[in-house]
Structure 1
Amino acid sequence: MPELVRPGDPSYDAARRVRNARIDRRPAAIARCAGTADVVAAIDHARAHGLGVAVRGGGANVAGWGTCDGGLVIDTGPMKQLVVDPARQLASAGPGLTWGEFDAGTAPYGLALPGARNTGVGIAGHTLGGGVGDLSRQFGLTSDNLVEAEVVTAAGAVVRATADENPELFWALRGGSGNFGVVTRFTFRLHPVSTVVAGPIVHPYAAVPAALRSARDWLATAPDEASLIAIVWTAPPLPFIPEQYWYERGALLIPTWFGDPARADEVLRPLLTDPAPVATAIRPMAYADYQSLLGSPPDFASQHVYNRGELLPALPDDVLDRILQHWQASGPNYSVVFGALGGAIGRGGPTAFAHREAQWFVELCAQWYGAADSELHVGVAADGWQALQDVTLGPYLNLLPDTDPEWVGAAFGANHERLVAIKQVWDPENLFRFGPALHSPPAN
């Protein structure tokens, strides 16, 4: 049996917390599961007591899908098993692993998997929501590299999902969320990745529009082995940012080259010339070190977050100007992240991830301390994504804080009806009811 933490227990408040302090919910119990048998027992307990189930891995979902009010949270955080088969380039991973832990386990073999840029994010939710990362232009989404899943169903059965066994469930798990069961083991295809050439490029406020245009134009002709993240923000006191630019608004570009290191200078040079940065630290580094360049803030557990990502087919001047003008008019706690897509993402599938034609994701970020319901901060980010609805393909499920059925449907796009049908097969009573709504009938 898993350890059950209930209201009144000394560890309850700590056990119910997720990474976003804005999400403050009180489950009836938290089941801390160490293995598949614990998950089965937890589901049996939920069904016996008429409780809905939320599933938590890393606990980083911006909408708080890893917790609930009044239901049972199945906490898979203790399930951190990782077995790497370097000969077959496969990894069998528990759902409690974070990306930092996963990367540390595969790095000694010179292998990696496209994954989140924040090492504190869990592998489970990221995979089930599709999963983008800097390796995705070369090797596809995280979910494209999932070859097998062990799943505990709403009935408490343990099943295997692959391209040949339960193929509809397998299709749904790769980008359709964790709304169909609890994945207790992921088996991933890995890729040879060891040293990369990457690093920060810092631009001041006045150069932001030119820097973003340069980055966009560079990516349009860059090989798939190249990737990019760009942030317009109020710069924190990071060691690679000159001190006079700390707490000032500006842009940070982080290009990455996964190809032949001898070509790195040739490929990355255009980003260093027009406009010229005020600082840069591009160098060869281990992939795991690259993934740690942008860590979580020191007091992230107290930070309120409202982040939403939109998937864009292009980033023309008028759209880029619209985004930057909104950022320029907003406060210091608002930032925008531009992430490179395209490449192998567009060639992947078929999976439940809907918007493969996207070339960019744009993440509109409000992060603050103080009052959790601050309309000042939420309103700025909400205005930003609402202004993109005429050009977006849809929201990115892993960065969707607005869980109305309209936006869940937009995230799933043309795959929505198929996902609804699969939900009816695997969870007809809607036991897993705290994730993205797939219009199953409510539980009795």
Structure 2
Amino acid sequence: MASHTDSSGDPIVGAFEETLRGPVFHPATGDEYDDVRAIYNGMIDKEPRVIVRCTDVADVIAAVTLGREHGLETAIRSGGHNGAGHALVDDGLVIDLSGMDGIRVDPDAKTARVEPGCTWGDVDHATHAFGLATVSGVVSTTGVGGLTLGGGHGYLTRQYGLTIDNLLSADVVLADGRLVRASREEHPDLFWALRGGGGNFGVVTSFEFRLHPVETVIGGPMIWPIDRLESTMRWYRDWLPRAPEDVYAFYLTGEVPGAPFPPEIHGEKICGLVWCCTGSEERADGALREARTVAEPLFEHVDPMPYPAIQSVFDDIYPPGDQWYWKGDFVAELSDDAVAVHERFAEVPTTQSFMHLYPIDGAASRVDADETAWNYRDATWSMVIAGVDSDADNDDLITDWAREYWEAFHPHSAGGSYVNFMMDEGGDRIRATYGDNHDRLRAVKAQYDPDNFFHVNQNIEPAA
């Protein structure tokens, strides 16, 4: 029975209320509607005609079917972290999966079956009880669905690959309302496309992941004054390729926020590393000692901690509702000229703005470029430049900084970008991101979504 029977009088809204078990929201539901349509990026403000919060696969099938029958622009929402705001659509349908948040861990098989409404914090909580984890991002409030379908990289990538390299199967509701399972054995073409192709091919209602033994890691930040960027970034680019794969560190520029950092360095412009080592203390200590010889850290706090702790270290710094504008690039190498660009833009415009260089080498690079939709297996880093602030009056400031920084650096990049680090940037940018895999993705799209029903995303148009 629908939770909201006081319809706006819109017969389309009424059809959803009559059909779905989960709650239905629309402008006439008032504050509830405004709460439900709010997403992570406060810069995005869209007003859907109807939002349906699905409770199960039957609700998803019904929502897709009704959306198609009524010709509604349809967006899929998992965790709502998509920077470009593709979790929402004006005057259309939002299929909200946040109510589908079950997890089942099989510790003997080292697998987990995860519903799309889960966050990575939910997954870490469930798997850590068994000393296991899979590859995800660096903010635990991120949704499982969007991160996975875009490829997924994080602290475990050098050792265990991308998130999609650990995806074993997925249950998918297609545009025609069918439910299929995609794996290497079943619908292998769809399974190939799901691994990096974004939300173009259907609504994933269940993800099956491979898990790895990860319990305690040695991690945390090591930061230097911003005037040490040139020496530390040059060292980092030379060190990373020879570093053991169980030693991970991403490079950052930013500004020291408030607690938990000491008051005397609040507001300092900095560069630095965030470490995560799953190997021995001796191996971690060796890497840390080498980094300290390059420049004396302004601050460091690198210690043993449970894996979920390193995964959530940024959660309080980046709460939902801040304004975000970001741009990304894959980076194969950091030339001296590229380092000089980073020096030029290193002083961020607001406390929460940053540049991060996430390693995607190691295990991720040993997968062939045509084995999944993710094309840039030869890149070393996935870079994101993010203008972030809580004040909407600073939107132009953070957007202009991110764009100018990206435009200056892009000639030094490998060409494309991680789709989860893209705003609405057009077809040429999408083609550059998928490279040689783009034509094959279009063919799969034509097979599973020939009418391009799922197009509120980084869209891959179906082949003619």
TM-score of the pair, normalised by structure 2: 0.91
For the residues of structure 1 that align with 2:214 and 2:73, how far apart are their CA atoms? 41
CA distance in 2, matches of 1:273, 1:91: 42
Distance 2:95 2:263 in 1: 44
Residue of structure 1 equivalent to 2:277: 257
Over residues 17-41 of structure 1, what are the superposed CA-to-partner deviations in whole Å (9 max), with x where a residue is unaligned? 1100111111111110111111011
Deviations 1:351-397 (A, max 9, x none): 00011111012211101233378333212111111223322221111
Q: Give 1:70-85 correspondences, 5 Å limit.
A: 70-85=91-106
Once the two structures are superposed, residues 222-267 of structure 1 have per-residue CA deviations (whole angstroms, 9 ceiling, x without a partner) of: 011111122211110132x332110121123112211123432123
Note if contact 2:172-2:181 (Cα within 8 Å) is conserved in structure 1: yes
> 1:73-107: CA deviations, max 9, x gaps?
11001111100001010000000111111111100
Q: Return the alpha-carbon distance in structure 1 between the equivalents of residues 351 and 104 of structure 2.
A: 43
Counterpart position of 2:234: 213
In the alignment, the residues of structure 1 paired with residue 459 and residue 145 of structure 2 have an alpha-carbon distance, to the nearest angstrom, of 19
Residues 23-34 of structure 1: matches in 2 within 5 Å? 23-34=44-55
Return the alpha-carbon distance in structure 2 between the equivalents of residues 305 and 400 of structure 1: 12
| Equivalent of residue 416 in structure 1, options 420, 438, 460 | 438
What is the CA-CA distance between 1:66 and the residue it aligns to? Answer: 1.0
In angstroms, what is the RMSD of aligned CA positions? 1.8
Task: Please tell me whether residue 432 in structure 1 is matched to residue 454 in structure 2.
Answer: yes
How far apart, CA to CA, are the structure 2 residues paired with 1:81 and 1:327?
Answer: 41
**d(CA) in 1 for partners of 2:102, 2:68:** 27
C-alpha contact 1:18 1:59 (8 A) present in aligned 2: yes
Q: Which residue of 2 aligns with 1:345?
A: 364
1:244 aligns with 2:225: no
C-alpha distance in 2 between matches for 1:52 and 1:188: 31
Distance 1:279 1:128, change over 3 A: same
**Structure 2 equivalent of residue 173 of structure 1:** 194
Structure 2 match to 1:6:
26
Which residue, 297, 302, 307 being the options, matches 1:282?
Answer: 302
4+ residue runs over 6 A deviation: none
Amino acid at match of 1:272: R
**Given residue 359 of structure 2, which amino acid in structure 1 is its aligned partner?**
A
Q: Does residue 88 in structure 1 map to residue 105 in structure 2?
A: no
**1:389 counterpart residue number:** 410
Distance 1:133 1:224 in 2: 13
Quick one: which amino acid aligns to residue 439 of structure 1?
E
**Cα distance between partner residues in 2 of 1:163 and 1:441:** 23
Q: Does 1:406 align with 2:428?
A: yes
30-39 or 1-10: which moved more?
1-10
Distance 2:302 2:428 in 1: 42
1:195–1:35 distance in 2 versus 1, CA, 3 Å: same
Q: TM-score, normalised by structure 1?
A: 0.95
8 Å Cα contact 1:149/1:186 also seen in 2: yes
The equivalent of 2:146 in structure 1 is 125
C-alpha distance in 2 between matches for 1:402 and 1:5 = 26
Equivalent AA in structure 1 for residue 340 of structure 2: D
Distance change in 2, residues 1:293/1:334 (3 Å): closer
Counterpart Cα distance in 1 of 2:463 and 2:451? 7
Distance in 2, Cα, partners of 1:137 & 1:343: 4
Q: What is the one-letter code of the residue matched to 2:339? A: L
Q: Where do residues 10-21 of structure 1 align in structure 2 (5 Å cutoff)?
A: 10=30, 11-21=32-42
State the partner residue of 2:286.
266
Separation of aligned partners in 2, 1:146 and 1:187 = 6
Is the Cα–Cα contact under 8 Å of residues 81 and 142 in structure 2 kept in the other structure? yes
CA separation in 2, counterparts of 1:100 and 1:196? 16
Conserved in 1, the CA contact under 8 Å of 2:350 and 2:387? no
**Structure 2: gaps spanning 5 or more residues:** 1-19
Secondary structure of 1:302's match?
coil
Amino acid of the residue matched to residue 439 of structure 2? E
Deviates more, 1:139-148 or 1:415-424: 415-424
Q: Residue 344 of structure 1 aligns to which amino acid in structure 2?
A: A
Please, which moves more after superposition, 143-152 or 406-415?
A: 406-415
Distance, in Å, in 1 between the alignment partners of 2:327 and 2:259 is 24
Deviation at 1:136, TM superposition (A): 0.7
2:57 partner letter? T
